Amino acid sequence: MARQRKKKGRPVSGWLIFDKPKGMGSTEAVSKIKWLFKAEKAGHAGTLDPLASGMLPIALGEATKTVPYVMDGTKIYRFTVSWGAERTTDDLEGEISATSDNRPDEAAIKAVLPKYTGVIQQTPPKFSAIKIAGERAYDLARGGEEVEIPAREVEIDRLELIERPDEATAIFEVECGKGTYVRSLARDMGRDLGCYGHIADLRRTEVAPFDEADFVTLEELEAAHPPAPAEGEGDEGSYERLAERFSVMDAFLIDTGAALESLPQIAISDDQAHRIRMGNPIILRGRDAPVEADEACVTAKGKLLAIGFIEHGQFNPKRVFAH
C-alpha cells in the first residue's frame, strides 16, 4: 500500500487582501504569502500585472474553494493615462509604436467616456494572458508573431475623469466586471481622441466583496512574521504551537465565508451539519427558508460549512468545507 505524502505547511484558511507592490508578479505574491503564513495551499483571485499595484485577494487553505466567487466580483481601478504615445504593451513596459502632438482638453475627454460605459466590445492587449490556439498571446507577441485577438464583451459600470495633472496626463477611475483590460481602455481612448495613449500608473482598489479597509501590506506581514523556533524547539508536529506562533499573522485573515456574501446563507443545526459533512442533502425548515436557489451556502455555529443548491426546499451540498 502506497504511503500518503505528508502535507507541507499549516492547514490555515481564510482570505488575505494583499496590497501588492509594483514590480511583483501575482504568482510571486502568492508564493510569498504562502511562505509567510506557512500555509499548505494558496491561490489568487485575479491576476494583477507586475507594473500594477493594489488589491490581490489571496486565498489560503479552504478559501481556495471560493476563488471563483471573488474572481466574478466587481473591480475598481484608479489609473493614469499618458497622452501622446501608444506602446506595444499599452503600458510603460513596451516600445513606442505611434506618437502624436495632439493633447485632449477636459471637455474632449469627458465626451468620449460614455462610449466606454455599459456593455461594450473590447479587444485585449496583444501582450496579455489570452490564449490564441492554445498559446498565451504575450508569448506569441514576444516571439515576434502578429497577434490577432478578437474583441469580446465586457461590462463597465462607471468610468470617471478624476484629475488632469497636466495636458499630457489624465487620471481616471473605473468600476468594471470580470475580464476588462484597463490597458485597452487607455489605448482605445487615445485613438478616439486622436492623440494616442498608454497606462502610466495602475492601481486596483477594490475587488468585491473586499475594499481598501481590508488591505494588508508586505511590510505589515513581514513585521508580524514569527522568528524561527530556537534549536530543539521545533514545532512541526504540533498544530497548537504553530497556531500560537502565527496568531499575530492569522489575525490579518478574513473568514472564508466573506467571499460568499452574494449568496443566500442559511444557518443549520448540529444534526443537519453532520448530514452535510457526510455529503447528504438536508430539508430546510423554517418560514423564511428558501425553496429554490441555483447557489446557496449553509453555516454551522457561524462558520461556512458548504456551498450547494436548493431544490424543492432541499439543500444539496456541492462543496463541503473542513474546519
Q: What does the pLDDT read at residue 6?
A: 58
Query: Are residues 123 and 151 in contact, defined by beta-carbon separation less than 8 angstroms?
Result: yes
Q: What does the pLDDT read at residue 231?
A: 58
For 19-68, write each residue's pLDDT tens digit.
999 999 999 999 999 999 999 999 999 888 888 999 999 999 999 999 99
Structure-derived torsion over alpha carbons of residues 30, 35, 41, 45, reported in degrees to the nearest 10: -20
Whole-structure pTM value: 0.88
β-strands 197-207, 75-83 pairing: antiparallel
List the catalytic residues.
49
Assign domain 75-207 to its CATH superfamily: Pseudouridine synthase (3.30.2350.10)
How far is 207 from 212, CA to CA, in rounded Å? 9
For 159-182, write each residue's pLDDT tens digit.
999 999 999 999 999 999 998 999
CB atoms within 10 A of CB 278: 9
CA angle 92, 98, 100 (to 5 degrees): 100
How do the domains of the chain map onto residue ranges?
75-207, 263-320
How far is 38 from 40, CA to CA, in rounded Å? 7
CATH topology of domain 263-320: 2.30.130
User: For residue 219, with 0-12 CB atoms within 10 Å meaning exposed, 13-18 middle and 19 or more buried, which class applies?
Assistant: exposed
The residue ranges of DSSP E strands in the chain, in sequence order, are 14-20, 42-44, 53-60, 75-83, 85-87, 96-99, 118-122, 131-132, 135-136, 152-166, 169-176, 197-207, 265-267, 282-283, 293-300, 303-311, 314-320
Q: 162-175: b or e for each residue (b if 16 or more CB lie within 10 Å)?
A: eeeeeebbbbbbbb
Low-confidence ranges of the chain (pLDDT < 70): 1-7, 127-146, 229-239, 323
Q: What does the pLDDT read at residue 138?
A: 58
CATH fold match for the domains 75-207 and 263-320:
no
φ and ψ at residue 148, rounded to 5 degrees: -110, 110
Query: Are residues 194 and 139 in contact, defined by beta-carbon separation less than 8 angstroms?
Result: no
Candidates 63, 88, 71; CA nearest to 26 is 71
